[in-house]
Amino acid sequence: MAKSGKPNPKPGQRTSAPKTSSASVSRQEPKDYLERPSVATPQDALLRKIFWGVAAAGLLILFVLSLGSGINADDKFQVDYSQKLVNYYGTFGKDTTALHIPEGNMHLYGGFFEVVTGFANKAFGLQPTDLGYHQVRHASSAILGWAAILCAGLLAALIAGWRAGIITLIIMLLSPRFVGDSLMNPKDIPFAAGYIMAMYNMAVVLQKLPEVRRWNLIGMVAGLGISLGIRAGGLLSFAILFLFAGLHFLLKNGGLRALSNGPALKKYATIVLGTAAAGYVFALFFWPYALQSPFKNPFVALSKFADLEVKIRVLFDGVNQMSDKTPWFYAVKWIAYTIPLAALAGFLGSLLLAPRLLKRYQPLWVTMVFFAGIFPVFYVIYKNSVIHDGWRHLTFAYPGMAIAAGLFWNELAEFFAEKKYVQWAVYGVLALTLADAGAFIAANPKMPYVYFNPIVGGTKGAYGTYETDYWGVSVRQGLEWMEQQGILKPDMPETVIIATNMYYSAKQLTAKYGDRVKIKYLKWEKRCDDAWDYALYPTRFLDGTTLKKGFWPPDNAVHIVTAGGAPILAVLKDNGRNCALGIAASKISDWPNCIERLRAEVANVSDNDLAWTNLAQAYLNTNQLEEARAAVEKTLEINPDDTQGNNLLGLYWIQKEDIGRAKSQFQDAVKKEPSNAIAWYYLGLIAYNQNEIQLALNNLMQAIKASPNLKQAYQLSAKIYEEQGDLDAASRFKAALSQMK
């Protein structure tokens, strides 16, 4: 019994702190700004088993799905790099072809994935012409994708407990874009795996200081090494390590006072610098270019990526545009339309709950999760970086978003812990917002990456507005259908000629037939430049209006690969080769035969815009003006952005002597396609005939810029300068013209 007259405090009642002297205060432990209540619960043992059960099932599913995936179009460069790396290491550096690869600049990328899979395939005796070669690569990608999913779940569990980890795992495993990329993406998925692996193990190591588990140190080194060993952007993982380790040191040890804590500072410095150095060496071991100058070349590679950004035509918001001309919200919109509703709503909800999450859980790791998911997206917007193929270049940011979403749904469930019916309703909403994505993966196991969520009406709703199979993985499904139909078989009596714009994958997948199958690379807009029996074309690079209006797949499609109710790839059959023969006739100015063949083609395939365009050209060349106009209008009905069709309509108006309408048509043509050299030339010619000399010269320079070998633009420029008395300028254009002959 207390002797004091003051009553004993009741259980849970706070008492005033005893007074202490200034000397005792100076001896107190530094304030821990990161201290939070434990997230452990009585159900942890069961939840932990569920977590690992879900993770194990996920690994099995991803591995099996990877074996059925088609070949990524980028593997043309990746496989070549892999073989060169195997030769480099196999000859102990004597074969130096991996040090400089002009096509694709692959030497500027780390070779971790390519070295590992390259030597695995060599051990199995597999070549790129074997399906098994690509299955080894796909299975390896799937394992790394699973590693990213696992580390995301573990980081969520570290922050908010095993239930949050389970929710995050499920969100990741039911994210069709991430899962689909995991089946065949050898760049973005390994990079994402290294990125999140480094952060998870970093958090564990720092949180458990001064006790550090060896496996987490190894995981931290591996994560850093893999991320940098895939691409130079992996240096971001090192920056994150230094940033958050520094913040952890200060906040854990009383703020700036921590700088005078020698033992703690030494411990942090040893771990951070040691793991960073080991991770850097790990990456260099798999990257011959970086090995040549370890402290220079990784940074050179990083600086060159901005110069090496590939500019291609992409379909976005229903408009075909160059990837360097897309709006700032390109990536944001793609992400919003292609991740599960549970991930989207959860991520946005986590931003609203951020103050609560920071207060209840380890604030540094919550901040790191937000940083991991938001900073990369913000950075590409800020830098106006060229990105294409949806948001695949930002795949590594998705685990951070998914963790944030998992924290939101977990917190919502926790908030209603005392109201079981409401809590189960939360779980029900979570399940409903994941159902669509899960069903899509189940229905499209060979290419789940073409998923769009219900906001845009699913993949069917996105069709014609956004890219679908931009990697052409559906080519494998098209070829498998041809095999099922007996079109392709070992004992084929005659050679089958297949045209496609996805040459690499088609070539590898038909290599087993030897010379009985011949693959021809023909762009969609050049598909009649040569003769073929069958053709395989995905929607990649097709005009959005053509797709929306239903002019694709064309009338000669004998099989269509679909996903989510949308056509993804068409298998075409050519009957009579009329289109190819008609265009061949046009090249030798055999206009009667050209017209006969192309009329036969459009009678058989009424939506063949190439046939209509070339038929219009033939009619113009034979002075059949109204027939030409009807043919070109049919072209533009099918494909309003067709460059040649727009030019032919302008030429029609010139021949009709309606210069005003011709000028208007060519102006419209260059708006649709700024690199339309022919349209610029005719705008120059019209301006010259209207005595607008400076405008004529400006238009002709645009024509030359778009097509440096356009002879008529040089000829007219030389003529104008000669007439204006500028003989030096005229001579320069004549000299340039003479070099073309």
pLDDT tens-place string over residues 14-65: 344 444 444 444 456 678 888 888 888 899 999 999 999 999 999 999 999 9
pLDDT tens-place string over residues 550-579: 889 999 999 999 999 999 999 999 988 999
**Residue in 138, 133, 139 with CA at minimum distance from that of residue 121:** 133
Q: Is the pLDDT reported for residue 454 higher than 90?
A: yes
User: DSSP letter string over 550-587?
Assistant: T--S-TTEEEEEEETTEEEEEEEE-STTHHHHHHHHHH
Strand partners, 497: 518
pLDDT tens-place string over residues 434-452: 999 999 999 999 999 999 9
**Residue in 190, 187, 207 with CA at minimum distance from that of residue 75:** 187
Those residues whose C-beta lies under 8 Å from the C-beta of residue 447, and which sit 6 or more positions away, are: 69, 70, 180, 469, 473, 474, 477, 563, 568
Tokens of residue 484, six digits: 């099922």
Q: Is the pLDDT reported for residue 722 higher than 50?
A: yes
Query: Which pLDDT belongs to residue 499?
Result: 97
User: DSSP letter string over 520-534?
Assistant: EE--GGGTTSS--SE
Residue 13 pLDDT grade (very low, low, confident, very high; cuts 50, 70, 90): very low
In the chain, the largest separation of any two C-alpha atoms, in whole Å, equals 120
Query: Which pLDDT belongs to residue 641?
Result: 87
- The 3 state secondary structure assigned to 244-296 is HHHHHHHHHCCHHHHHHCHHHHHHHHHHHHHHHHHHHHHHHHCCHHHHHCCCC
Cα end-to-end distance, the chain, whole Å? 112
How much is the pTM?
A: 0.89
pLDDT tens-place string over residues 426-435: 999 999 999 9
Q: Answer for the pair 147, 193: CB distance below 8 angstroms, yes or no.
A: yes
**Residue in 617, 647, 650 with CA at minimum distance from that of residue 631:** 617
Could you tell me whether strands 313-316 and 319-322 are parallel, antiparallel, or unpaired per DSSP bridges?
Answer: antiparallel
Enclosing H/E stretch for 144: helix 131-160
pLDDT tens-place string over residues 81-119: 999 999 999 999 999 999 999 887 899 999 999 999 999
Phi-psi region of 362 (alpha: psi -120 to 50; beta: other; left: phi over 0): beta
DSSP 463: B
CA angle 726, 728, 734 (to 5 degrees): 105
Query: Which pLDDT belongs to residue 672?
Result: 87
pLDDT tens-place string over residues 382-422: 988 888 888 999 999 999 999 999 999 999 999 998 899 99
Tokens of residue 446, six digits: 């060979």
DSSP 326: S
